Structure 1
Amino acid sequence: MDRIVKEALSVGRKVLVEPEAKEVLRLASFPLPRSKAVKDVAGAIDAAREIGFPVALKLISPDIMHKSDAGGVFLNIMDEQEIEEKWSQIILGVADDYPTALIEGFLIEEMVKKGAEVIIGCVRDEQFGPAVMFGIGGVTVELMKDVSFRLAPITREEAFEMMGEVKGFPILTGYRGQTVKDLDAIADALIKLGDIVGRIEGIKEFEINPLIVHERGAVVADARAVLR
Protein backbone atom coordinates (compact mmCIF):
# COMPACT_ATOMS: atom_id res chain seq x y z
CA MET A 1 0.00 0.00 0.00
CA ASP A 2 2.76 2.44 0.92
CA ARG A 3 4.46 1.75 -2.41
CA ILE A 4 1.43 2.93 -4.40
CA VAL A 5 1.31 6.22 -2.49
CA LYS A 6 5.07 6.76 -2.65
CA GLU A 7 5.17 6.14 -6.41
CA ALA A 8 2.42 8.73 -7.01
CA LEU A 9 4.18 11.29 -4.81
CA SER A 10 7.53 10.60 -6.51
CA VAL A 11 6.16 11.85 -9.84
CA GLY A 12 4.62 14.94 -8.27
CA ARG A 13 1.01 13.76 -8.10
CA LYS A 14 -1.23 14.67 -5.19
CA VAL A 15 -4.01 12.18 -5.95
CA LEU A 16 -4.49 8.48 -6.50
CA VAL A 17 -6.56 7.78 -9.58
CA GLU A 18 -9.31 5.19 -9.28
CA PRO A 19 -7.27 2.07 -10.20
CA GLU A 20 -4.57 3.06 -7.69
CA ALA A 21 -7.04 3.81 -4.92
CA LYS A 22 -8.78 0.50 -5.57
CA GLU A 23 -5.49 -1.36 -5.49
CA VAL A 24 -4.87 0.04 -2.00
CA LEU A 25 -8.33 -1.19 -1.02
CA ARG A 26 -7.76 -4.60 -2.63
CA LEU A 27 -4.62 -5.05 -0.55
CA ALA A 28 -6.78 -4.34 2.52
CA SER A 29 -9.28 -7.04 1.41
CA PHE A 30 -12.11 -4.74 0.32
CA PRO A 31 -14.54 -6.42 -2.11
CA LEU A 32 -14.11 -4.93 -5.59
CA PRO A 33 -15.69 -5.47 -9.02
CA ARG A 34 -13.54 -6.97 -11.75
CA SER A 35 -11.88 -4.25 -13.80
CA LYS A 36 -9.06 -3.50 -16.20
CA ALA A 37 -7.27 -0.25 -17.04
CA VAL A 38 -6.82 0.28 -20.79
CA LYS A 39 -5.18 2.82 -23.10
CA ASP A 40 -7.19 2.52 -26.32
CA VAL A 41 -10.54 1.44 -27.72
CA ALA A 42 -9.25 -1.96 -28.85
CA GLY A 43 -8.04 -2.66 -25.32
CA ALA A 44 -11.39 -1.53 -23.93
CA ILE A 45 -13.27 -3.91 -26.19
CA ASP A 46 -10.97 -6.81 -25.29
CA ALA A 47 -11.39 -6.04 -21.57
CA ALA A 48 -15.18 -5.86 -21.89
CA ARG A 49 -15.25 -9.24 -23.68
CA GLU A 50 -13.11 -10.72 -20.91
CA ILE A 51 -15.19 -9.24 -18.07
CA GLY A 52 -18.54 -9.70 -19.83
CA PHE A 53 -21.16 -7.14 -20.82
CA PRO A 54 -22.69 -4.97 -19.45
CA VAL A 55 -19.72 -2.92 -18.26
CA ALA A 56 -18.89 0.54 -16.98
CA LEU A 57 -16.50 2.85 -18.84
CA LYS A 58 -14.66 5.35 -16.63
CA LEU A 59 -12.16 8.08 -17.38
CA ILE A 60 -8.79 7.88 -15.61
CA SER A 61 -7.33 11.37 -15.05
CA PRO A 62 -5.48 12.82 -12.07
CA ASP A 63 -6.88 16.22 -13.07
CA ILE A 64 -10.56 15.22 -12.94
CA MET A 65 -11.51 13.75 -9.58
CA HIS A 66 -15.29 13.98 -9.95
CA LYS A 67 -15.61 11.96 -13.14
CA SER A 68 -19.40 11.82 -13.22
CA ASP A 69 -19.71 15.61 -13.13
CA ALA A 70 -17.30 15.82 -16.08
CA GLY A 71 -19.23 13.29 -18.18
CA GLY A 72 -16.44 10.78 -17.67
CA VAL A 73 -18.52 7.78 -16.57
CA PHE A 74 -20.93 5.63 -18.54
CA LEU A 75 -22.71 2.65 -16.98
CA ASN A 76 -24.46 -0.40 -18.42
CA ILE A 77 -22.64 -0.40 -21.73
CA MET A 78 -24.08 -3.32 -23.62
CA ASP A 79 -21.86 -3.93 -26.66
CA GLU A 80 -18.66 -3.04 -28.51
CA GLN A 81 -20.25 -0.33 -30.66
CA GLU A 82 -21.45 1.47 -27.54
CA ILE A 83 -17.93 1.34 -26.07
CA GLU A 84 -16.60 3.09 -29.18
CA GLU A 85 -19.37 5.71 -29.05
CA LYS A 86 -19.00 6.49 -25.35
CA TRP A 87 -15.20 6.52 -25.58
CA SER A 88 -15.35 9.21 -28.27
CA GLN A 89 -17.97 11.13 -26.31
CA ILE A 90 -15.75 11.29 -23.23
CA ILE A 91 -12.64 12.27 -25.22
CA LEU A 92 -14.46 15.10 -26.99
CA GLY A 93 -16.13 16.32 -23.80
CA VAL A 94 -12.85 16.46 -21.90
CA ALA A 95 -11.16 18.26 -24.78
CA ASP A 96 -13.87 20.94 -24.70
CA ASP A 97 -14.31 21.36 -20.94
CA TYR A 98 -10.91 20.34 -19.52
CA PRO A 99 -8.43 21.02 -22.33
CA THR A 100 -5.36 20.80 -20.08
CA ALA A 101 -6.42 17.60 -18.29
CA LEU A 102 -4.15 14.58 -18.59
CA ILE A 103 -5.99 11.46 -19.73
CA GLU A 104 -4.11 8.40 -18.49
CA GLY A 105 -6.59 5.91 -19.90
CA PHE A 106 -9.92 4.33 -19.11
CA LEU A 107 -11.21 1.74 -16.69
CA ILE A 108 -13.47 -1.05 -17.92
CA GLU A 109 -15.37 -2.48 -14.98
CA GLU A 110 -18.10 -5.03 -14.40
CA MET A 111 -21.44 -3.61 -13.33
CA VAL A 112 -22.23 -3.96 -9.66
CA LYS A 113 -25.66 -5.27 -8.70
CA LYS A 114 -27.94 -2.50 -7.45
CA GLY A 115 -28.11 -1.92 -3.70
CA ALA A 116 -28.06 0.87 -1.14
CA GLU A 117 -25.36 3.45 -1.84
CA VAL A 118 -23.34 4.78 1.09
CA ILE A 119 -20.24 6.93 1.30
CA ILE A 120 -17.36 6.26 3.64
CA GLY A 121 -14.28 8.38 3.93
CA CYS A 122 -11.35 9.30 6.10
CA VAL A 123 -9.79 12.77 6.37
CA ARG A 124 -6.52 13.52 8.15
CA ASP A 125 -6.69 16.53 10.44
CA GLU A 126 -3.24 17.96 11.17
CA GLN A 127 -4.12 18.43 14.84
CA PHE A 128 -6.37 15.48 15.69
CA GLY A 129 -5.32 12.87 13.11
CA PRO A 130 -7.57 10.76 10.86
CA ALA A 131 -11.36 11.07 11.18
CA VAL A 132 -13.69 8.49 9.63
CA MET A 133 -16.86 9.69 7.88
CA PHE A 134 -20.11 7.88 7.01
CA GLY A 135 -23.12 9.00 5.01
CA ILE A 136 -25.82 7.84 2.65
CA GLY A 137 -23.96 8.00 -0.62
CA GLY A 138 -24.19 8.60 -4.33
CA VAL A 139 -24.22 12.05 -5.89
CA THR A 140 -26.61 13.55 -3.28
CA VAL A 141 -24.30 13.36 -0.26
CA GLU A 142 -22.78 16.83 -0.83
CA LEU A 143 -26.27 18.30 -1.09
CA MET A 144 -27.77 16.58 1.96
CA LYS A 145 -24.75 16.88 4.31
CA ASP A 146 -26.17 13.88 6.21
CA VAL A 147 -22.92 12.46 7.57
CA SER A 148 -21.31 11.40 10.85
CA PHE A 149 -17.68 11.40 12.02
CA ARG A 150 -15.41 9.62 14.52
CA LEU A 151 -11.70 9.91 15.16
CA ALA A 152 -9.81 6.84 13.93
CA PRO A 153 -9.15 4.13 14.82
CA ILE A 154 -12.76 3.22 15.49
CA THR A 155 -14.35 0.22 17.16
CA ARG A 156 -17.20 -1.85 15.73
CA GLU A 157 -19.54 -0.25 18.27
CA GLU A 158 -18.53 3.22 17.07
CA ALA A 159 -19.08 2.17 13.45
CA PHE A 160 -22.66 1.18 14.24
CA GLU A 161 -23.19 4.42 16.16
CA MET A 162 -22.05 6.38 13.10
CA MET A 163 -24.58 4.60 10.90
CA GLY A 164 -27.41 5.23 13.33
CA GLU A 165 -26.67 8.95 13.52
CA VAL A 166 -27.50 9.78 9.89
CA LYS A 167 -31.07 10.63 8.93
CA GLY A 168 -30.98 8.24 5.99
CA PHE A 169 -30.22 5.20 8.17
CA PRO A 170 -33.70 3.65 7.64
CA ILE A 171 -32.76 3.09 3.98
CA LEU A 172 -30.43 0.39 5.29
CA THR A 173 -32.88 -1.23 7.69
CA GLY A 174 -35.90 -2.06 5.56
CA TYR A 175 -37.58 1.31 4.93
CA ARG A 176 -40.84 0.94 2.92
CA GLY A 177 -40.36 -2.75 2.28
CA GLN A 178 -36.78 -2.58 1.09
CA THR A 179 -34.47 -5.41 2.09
CA VAL A 180 -32.32 -5.00 5.18
CA LYS A 181 -28.73 -4.33 4.18
CA ASP A 182 -25.51 -5.82 5.57
CA LEU A 183 -24.55 -3.39 8.33
CA ASP A 184 -21.62 -5.56 9.37
CA ALA A 185 -20.10 -5.11 5.91
CA ILE A 186 -20.36 -1.33 6.32
CA ALA A 187 -18.79 -1.51 9.77
CA ASP A 188 -15.91 -3.59 8.39
CA ALA A 189 -15.31 -1.00 5.66
CA LEU A 190 -15.34 1.93 8.10
CA ILE A 191 -12.88 0.24 10.45
CA LYS A 192 -10.51 -0.81 7.66
CA LEU A 193 -10.51 2.58 5.94
CA GLY A 194 -9.64 4.31 9.21
CA ASP A 195 -6.79 1.85 9.68
CA ILE A 196 -5.46 2.48 6.15
CA VAL A 197 -5.29 6.27 6.54
CA GLY A 198 -3.91 5.95 10.06
CA ARG A 199 -1.12 3.71 8.81
CA ILE A 200 -0.14 5.47 5.57
CA GLU A 201 1.14 8.94 6.41
CA GLY A 202 1.07 10.09 2.80
CA ILE A 203 -2.73 9.98 2.55
CA LYS A 204 -4.65 13.17 3.34
CA GLU A 205 -8.14 12.02 2.30
CA PHE A 206 -9.62 8.74 1.13
CA GLU A 207 -13.19 8.42 -0.13
CA ILE A 208 -15.30 5.48 -1.25
CA ASN A 209 -18.42 6.76 -3.00
CA PRO A 210 -20.40 4.76 -3.46
CA LEU A 211 -19.97 1.62 -1.43
CA ILE A 212 -22.87 -0.46 -2.73
CA VAL A 213 -24.41 -2.49 0.07
CA HIS A 214 -26.48 -5.62 -0.48
CA GLU A 215 -28.33 -7.98 1.82
CA ARG A 216 -25.02 -9.81 2.14
CA GLY A 217 -21.81 -7.96 1.55
CA ALA A 218 -20.82 -4.62 0.06
CA VAL A 219 -18.78 -3.69 -3.02
CA VAL A 220 -16.62 -0.61 -3.72
CA ALA A 221 -17.96 1.02 -6.89
CA ASP A 222 -15.68 4.08 -6.90
CA ALA A 223 -12.77 5.39 -4.83
CA ARG A 224 -10.33 8.27 -4.78
CA ALA A 225 -7.56 9.56 -2.55
CA VAL A 226 -5.84 12.90 -2.01
CA LEU A 227 -2.20 12.83 -0.92
CA ARG A 228 -0.24 15.09 1.40
Structure 2
Amino acid sequence: MLTKKVSKIFEEARKEGRKYLLEPEAKTICMDYGIPVTKFNVAKTAEEAVKFAEEIGYPTVLKIVSPDVIHKFDVGGVALNLKGPEDIQDAYKKILANVKKHKPDAKITGVLVQEMAPPSTEVIVGATKDPQFGPALMFGLGGIFVEVLKDVTFRIAPITEQDAREMITEVKAYPVLKGYRGQPPADIDSIVKILLNTSKLVMDHLEIKELDLNPIMVYAKGAKTVDARIILE
Protein backbone atom coordinates (compact mmCIF):
# COMPACT_ATOMS: atom_id res chain seq x y z
CA MET A 1 0.00 0.00 0.00
CA LEU A 2 2.63 2.50 -1.11
CA THR A 3 0.34 5.52 -1.25
CA LYS A 4 1.36 8.85 -2.78
CA LYS A 5 0.65 10.60 0.52
CA VAL A 6 3.11 8.41 2.47
CA SER A 7 5.78 8.56 -0.25
CA LYS A 8 5.47 12.37 -0.33
CA ILE A 9 6.00 12.61 3.45
CA PHE A 10 9.18 10.51 3.25
CA GLU A 11 10.38 12.49 0.23
CA GLU A 12 9.91 15.86 1.98
CA ALA A 13 11.72 14.63 5.11
CA ARG A 14 14.67 13.46 2.98
CA LYS A 15 14.81 16.78 1.10
CA GLU A 16 14.97 18.64 4.41
CA GLY A 17 17.61 16.24 5.75
CA ARG A 18 15.29 15.01 8.52
CA LYS A 19 15.37 11.52 10.02
CA TYR A 20 12.67 12.23 12.61
CA LEU A 21 9.21 12.63 11.12
CA LEU A 22 7.01 15.32 12.65
CA GLU A 23 4.17 13.93 14.78
CA PRO A 24 1.40 14.99 12.34
CA GLU A 25 3.37 13.27 9.54
CA ALA A 26 3.71 10.07 11.59
CA LYS A 27 0.00 10.14 12.46
CA THR A 28 -1.01 10.74 8.83
CA ILE A 29 1.01 7.65 7.85
CA CYS A 30 -0.67 5.64 10.64
CA MET A 31 -4.11 6.70 9.39
CA ASP A 32 -3.17 5.66 5.85
CA TYR A 33 -2.39 2.18 7.19
CA GLY A 34 -5.59 1.84 9.21
CA ILE A 35 -3.92 2.50 12.56
CA PRO A 36 -6.41 4.57 14.62
CA VAL A 37 -5.10 7.87 16.00
CA THR A 38 -6.57 10.72 18.02
CA LYS A 39 -8.25 13.47 15.97
CA PHE A 40 -5.75 16.23 15.19
CA ASN A 41 -4.92 19.28 13.11
CA VAL A 42 -1.97 21.69 12.92
CA ALA A 43 -2.56 25.34 13.80
CA LYS A 44 -0.37 28.26 12.71
CA THR A 45 -2.08 30.84 14.97
CA ALA A 46 -3.84 30.87 18.36
CA GLU A 47 -7.13 31.68 16.58
CA GLU A 48 -6.70 28.69 14.30
CA ALA A 49 -5.94 26.50 17.35
CA VAL A 50 -9.25 27.57 18.92
CA LYS A 51 -11.11 26.83 15.66
CA PHE A 52 -9.59 23.32 15.42
CA ALA A 53 -10.25 22.64 19.12
CA GLU A 54 -13.92 23.57 18.64
CA GLU A 55 -14.11 21.16 15.67
CA ILE A 56 -12.32 18.33 17.51
CA GLY A 57 -14.16 18.87 20.81
CA TYR A 58 -12.91 19.58 24.32
CA PRO A 59 -10.87 18.64 26.28
CA THR A 60 -7.93 19.02 23.92
CA VAL A 61 -4.13 18.86 23.95
CA LEU A 62 -1.62 21.23 22.32
CA LYS A 63 1.88 20.10 21.28
CA ILE A 64 4.69 21.96 19.56
CA VAL A 65 5.50 20.80 16.02
CA SER A 66 9.18 21.38 15.23
CA PRO A 67 11.90 19.33 13.51
CA ASP A 68 14.27 20.67 16.20
CA VAL A 69 12.21 19.53 19.20
CA ILE A 70 12.12 15.76 19.72
CA HIS A 71 11.27 15.65 23.45
CA LYS A 72 8.36 18.08 23.66
CA PHE A 73 7.74 17.83 27.41
CA ASP A 74 11.37 18.76 28.20
CA VAL A 75 10.95 22.22 26.65
CA GLY A 76 7.42 22.91 27.91
CA GLY A 77 6.01 22.17 24.48
CA VAL A 78 2.87 20.31 25.63
CA ALA A 79 -0.35 21.47 27.31
CA LEU A 80 -2.94 18.91 28.45
CA ASN A 81 -6.64 18.89 29.32
CA LEU A 82 -7.57 22.26 27.82
CA LYS A 83 -11.27 22.91 28.28
CA GLY A 84 -12.14 26.09 26.39
CA PRO A 85 -11.02 28.88 24.01
CA GLU A 86 -9.21 30.85 26.75
CA ASP A 87 -7.25 27.76 27.81
CA ILE A 88 -6.25 27.18 24.19
CA GLN A 89 -5.09 30.76 23.58
CA ASP A 90 -3.10 30.90 26.84
CA ALA A 91 -1.51 27.48 26.23
CA TYR A 92 -0.64 28.35 22.62
CA LYS A 93 1.26 31.48 23.72
CA LYS A 94 2.97 29.67 26.62
CA ILE A 95 4.13 26.80 24.40
CA LEU A 96 5.71 29.17 21.87
CA ALA A 97 7.36 31.20 24.66
CA ASN A 98 8.70 28.02 26.34
CA VAL A 99 10.18 26.67 23.12
CA LYS A 100 11.79 30.02 22.25
CA LYS A 101 13.31 30.12 25.74
CA HIS A 102 14.71 26.56 25.70
CA LYS A 103 15.43 26.24 21.97
CA PRO A 104 15.72 29.76 20.55
CA ASP A 105 16.86 28.55 17.11
CA ALA A 106 14.13 25.91 16.73
CA LYS A 107 12.15 26.07 13.50
CA ILE A 108 8.48 25.99 14.51
CA THR A 109 6.13 24.41 11.96
CA GLY A 110 2.99 24.96 14.02
CA VAL A 111 1.12 23.64 17.04
CA LEU A 112 -0.65 20.29 16.99
CA VAL A 113 -4.22 20.41 18.29
CA GLN A 114 -5.47 16.95 19.25
CA GLU A 115 -8.29 15.41 21.22
CA MET A 116 -7.54 14.38 24.80
CA ALA A 117 -8.14 10.63 24.66
CA PRO A 118 -10.16 9.39 27.67
CA PRO A 119 -7.99 7.36 30.07
CA SER A 120 -8.00 3.60 29.61
CA THR A 121 -5.65 0.62 29.41
CA GLU A 122 -2.42 1.77 27.73
CA VAL A 123 -0.44 -0.42 25.36
CA ILE A 124 2.67 0.17 23.26
CA VAL A 125 3.45 -1.05 19.75
CA GLY A 126 6.93 -0.50 18.39
CA ALA A 127 9.21 -1.57 15.56
CA THR A 128 12.97 -1.50 15.06
CA LYS A 129 15.03 -2.55 12.07
CA ASP A 130 17.44 -5.35 12.93
CA PRO A 131 20.52 -5.30 10.63
CA GLN A 132 20.35 -9.08 10.23
CA PHE A 133 16.63 -9.96 10.34
CA GLY A 134 14.96 -6.74 9.16
CA PRO A 135 11.95 -5.14 10.89
CA ALA A 136 11.02 -6.55 14.31
CA LEU A 137 7.77 -5.72 16.12
CA MET A 138 7.36 -5.14 19.84
CA PHE A 139 4.22 -5.20 22.00
CA GLY A 140 3.66 -4.43 25.67
CA LEU A 141 1.39 -2.71 28.16
CA GLY A 142 2.23 0.91 28.93
CA GLY A 143 3.47 2.64 32.07
CA ILE A 144 5.17 0.54 34.75
CA PHE A 145 4.80 -2.71 32.76
CA VAL A 146 7.20 -1.59 30.03
CA GLU A 147 9.29 1.01 31.89
CA VAL A 148 10.07 -0.98 35.04
CA LEU A 149 9.17 -4.61 34.35
CA LYS A 150 10.27 -4.66 30.67
CA ASP A 151 7.23 -6.86 30.04
CA VAL A 152 7.28 -6.94 26.22
CA THR A 153 7.17 -9.47 23.39
CA PHE A 154 8.86 -9.43 19.97
CA ARG A 155 8.32 -10.94 16.51
CA ILE A 156 10.15 -10.57 13.20
CA ALA A 157 7.90 -8.95 10.56
CA PRO A 158 5.84 -9.76 8.61
CA ILE A 159 3.50 -11.27 11.20
CA THR A 160 0.29 -13.26 10.87
CA GLU A 161 -2.89 -12.82 12.90
CA GLN A 162 -1.84 -15.81 15.01
CA ASP A 163 1.54 -14.14 15.70
CA ALA A 164 -0.25 -10.96 16.78
CA ARG A 165 -2.57 -12.83 19.17
CA GLU A 166 0.38 -14.75 20.64
CA MET A 167 2.32 -11.50 21.18
CA ILE A 168 -0.61 -10.16 23.20
CA THR A 169 -1.17 -13.28 25.32
CA GLU A 170 2.56 -13.77 26.02
CA VAL A 171 2.98 -10.59 28.09
CA LYS A 172 2.76 -11.23 31.84
CA ALA A 173 0.27 -8.37 32.17
CA TYR A 174 -2.21 -10.02 29.76
CA PRO A 175 -4.81 -10.49 32.58
CA VAL A 176 -5.09 -6.67 32.73
CA LEU A 177 -6.33 -6.70 29.12
CA LYS A 178 -8.91 -9.37 29.93
CA GLY A 179 -10.50 -7.09 32.53
CA TYR A 180 -9.05 -6.43 35.96
CA ARG A 181 -10.70 -5.21 39.20
CA GLY A 182 -13.99 -4.35 37.58
CA GLN A 183 -12.47 -2.85 34.41
CA PRO A 184 -14.11 -3.98 31.15
CA PRO A 185 -12.01 -6.26 28.91
CA ALA A 186 -9.92 -4.39 26.33
CA ASP A 187 -10.74 -4.76 22.63
CA ILE A 188 -8.12 -7.40 21.73
CA ASP A 189 -9.21 -7.44 18.07
CA SER A 190 -8.32 -3.74 17.78
CA ILE A 191 -4.81 -4.43 19.12
CA VAL A 192 -4.41 -7.35 16.68
CA LYS A 193 -5.38 -5.07 13.79
CA ILE A 194 -2.88 -2.40 14.90
CA LEU A 195 -0.08 -5.00 15.11
CA LEU A 196 -0.91 -6.39 11.64
CA ASN A 197 -1.12 -2.92 10.07
CA THR A 198 2.13 -1.84 11.74
CA SER A 199 3.79 -4.97 10.35
CA LYS A 200 2.56 -4.04 6.86
CA LEU A 201 3.76 -0.44 7.26
CA VAL A 202 7.33 -1.38 8.23
CA MET A 203 7.53 -4.07 5.52
CA ASP A 204 6.29 -1.64 2.84
CA HIS A 205 8.76 1.04 3.97
CA LEU A 206 12.08 -0.55 4.83
CA GLU A 207 13.59 2.92 5.29
CA ILE A 208 11.83 3.06 8.69
CA LYS A 209 14.51 2.54 11.35
CA GLU A 210 12.26 2.94 14.40
CA LEU A 211 8.54 3.29 15.01
CA ASP A 212 6.90 3.95 18.36
CA LEU A 213 3.14 4.11 19.02
CA ASN A 214 3.04 5.08 22.67
CA PRO A 215 0.63 5.20 24.31
CA ILE A 216 -2.25 3.52 22.53
CA MET A 217 -5.44 3.79 24.60
CA VAL A 218 -7.46 0.59 24.27
CA TYR A 219 -11.15 0.70 25.13
CA ALA A 220 -13.90 -1.90 25.45
CA LYS A 221 -14.52 -1.09 21.79
CA GLY A 222 -11.78 0.41 19.65
CA ALA A 223 -8.41 2.03 20.35
CA LYS A 224 -6.62 5.35 19.73
CA THR A 225 -2.93 6.07 19.24
CA VAL A 226 -2.13 9.17 21.30
CA ASP A 227 1.50 9.65 20.23
CA ALA A 228 3.34 8.35 17.16
CA ARG A 229 7.05 8.57 16.38
CA ILE A 230 8.84 7.42 13.22
CA ILE A 231 12.59 7.64 12.61
CA LEU A 232 14.06 7.01 9.16
CA GLU A 233 17.44 5.47 8.34
Paired position in structure 2 for 1:72: 77
Paired position in structure 1 for 2:185: 180
- Per mean C-alpha deviation after superposition, the further-off stretch among 176-185 and 53-62 is 53-62
**SS of corresponding position for 2:73:** coil
Paired position in structure 2 for 1:12: 17
Paired position in structure 2 for 1:35: 40
Structure 1 residue 139, shift from structure 2 partner? 8.1
2:217 paired residue among 185, 205, 212: 212
Aligned partner of 1:193: which letter?
Answer: T
Aligned Cα root-mean-square deviation (Å): 1.8
What do residues 45-86 of structure 1 show as CA deviations (whole Å, max 9, x unaligned)?
111122222211111122222323443222220111111221
Does structure 1 residue 86 correspond to structure 2 residue 91?
Answer: yes
Aligned partner of 1:171: which letter?
Answer: V
1:160 paired residue among 156, 165, 168: 165
- Percent sequence identity over matched residues? 43
Does structure 1 retain, via aligned residues, the 8 Å contact 2:46–2:93? no
Q: Residues of 2 paired with 1:145 and 1:88: CA distance?
A: 38
Paired position in structure 2 for 1:194: 199
- Per mean C-alpha deviation after superposition, the further-off stretch among 51-60 and 84-93 is 84-93
Does structure 2 retain, via aligned residues, the 8 Å contact 1:5–1:203? no
- Per mean C-alpha deviation after superposition, the further-off stretch among 47-56 and 206-215 is 47-56
Aligned partner of 1:42: which letter?
Answer: E
What are the ranges of 5 or more consecutive residues in structure 2 without an aligned counterpart? 1-5
Does structure 1 residue 126 correspond to structure 2 residue 135?
Answer: no
Residues 141 and 89 of structure 1: is their aligned pair in 2 closer, same or farther, counting only changes over 3 Å? farther
What do residues 111-163 of structure 1 show as CA deviations (whole Å, max 9, x unaligned)?
22322111101111121100001111258733442211110011111112212
Q: Residues of 2 paired with 1:32 and 1:55: CA distance?
A: 14
Residues 160 and 114 of structure 1: is their aligned pair in 2 closer, same or farther, counting only changes over 3 Å? same
Does structure 2 retain, via aligned residues, the 8 Å contact 1:59–1:103? yes
Does structure 1 retain, via aligned residues, the 8 Å contact 2:23–2:227? yes
- Per mean C-alpha deviation after superposition, the further-off stretch among 131-140 and 169-178 is 131-140
Paired position in structure 2 for 1:53: 58
**SS of corresponding position for 1:123:** strand
- Per mean C-alpha deviation after superposition, the further-off stretch among 69-78 and 43-52 is 69-78
**SS of corresponding position for 2:12:** helix
Give TM-score scaled by structure 2 length. Answer: 0.90
What are the ranges of 5 or more consecutive residues in structure 1 without an aligned counterpart? none
Q: Residues of 1 paired with 2:55 and 2:22: CA distance?
A: 23
Residues 70 and 111 of structure 1: is their aligned pair in 2 closer, same or farther, counting only changes over 3 Å? same
Q: Residues of 2 paired with 1:102 and 1:2: CA distance?
A: 23
Structure 1 residue 208, shift from structure 2 partner? 0.7
Does structure 2 retain, via aligned residues, the 8 Å contact 1:59–1:73? yes
Structure 1 residue 204, shift from structure 2 partner? 0.9
**SS of corresponding position for 1:46:** helix
